[in-house]
Structure formats: structure tokens, C-alpha cells
Amino acid sequence: MPYIALKHLHMTFAAISISLFLLRGYWMWQTSPRLQQRWVKVVPHINDTALLGTAIAMVIWSRQYPFVMDWLTAKLLALILYIVLGSIALKRGRTKPIRLLALLGATLTFTYIVGVALTKSPVLAG
């Protein structure tokens, strides 16, 4: 698979990931029983595993590594923050306002990750 195809596959998994996250966030806010459906608990994890797998493959293929390339380090650290905030938003937040704030924070963090990927810079100028 050429690198550009791998990159597009990675971007597709990223788009699916944020779409499913926002959908689950909406259902959480609505206290929807849809959140308890089996596919809702399984499919995002499968997609996110594929997203991470394509990211690792691109890192190896391009020989650009986190903690060597500042923009990849920023993406990795932002990914960890996104996972923590997403967990609070969808599971661990004690109240809906806390969950909503975490959902907003996770969405902004995801936006930052995309910005870093597009600019190859950890500092996004407005």
C-alpha cells in the first residue's frame, strides 16, 4: 500500500472516530438507551484500533517519530488528553455538565490534533 493510501485510510478512520464520538456524546446528553447497544460499545474500539494501527504504520514508513519530531510529540500528547477527556465525557464524568465540558474539551483537542497534522507544527497560529 503506498504511503498516500495509508494516510487517506488513517484520515478516514479519524473522521469515523470523531463522528462516532460526537454521536455517543449526543446520546449521552439525551440519556439515550442507544448507548447500551452492543455495536455502540464495540465498533468505536475497532475503528480506533485501526486508526492507531495506521498511525503507527505511517510513523514507521515515514521514519518520523514522536519525541524526535515536535509535531508528532504534540499529536501523541494531545491524543492522550483526548482519550482522558473522552473517557470523562462518555463514562467517568459524575454529572452531565462535567461530561459536557469534557466532551467540548475532547472535541477541541481533536481539532488541535487535526490542525497539527495539517500544519506539521505544534503551534497553531490563528
Interval 26-42: pLDDT, tens: 999 999 999 999 999 99
Q: Does residue 72 contact residue 56 with C-beta atoms inside 8 Å?
A: no
Residue pLDDT, tens place only, 44-91: 999 999 999 999 999 999 999 999 999 999 999 999 999 999 999 999
Section 7-30 average pLDDT: 97
Q: What tens digit of pLDDT does each residue of 87-125 get?
A: 999 999 999 999 999 999 999 999 999 999 999 999 976
Which of 93, 109, 115, 92 has its CA nearest to residue 18? 109
105 phi, psi to nearest 5 deg: -60, -40
pLDDT beyond 60 at 126: no
Alpha-carbon distance values, 61 to 28, 55, 101 (Å): 38, 10, 37
What is the C-alpha separation between 46 and 75, in angstroms, rounded? Answer: 21
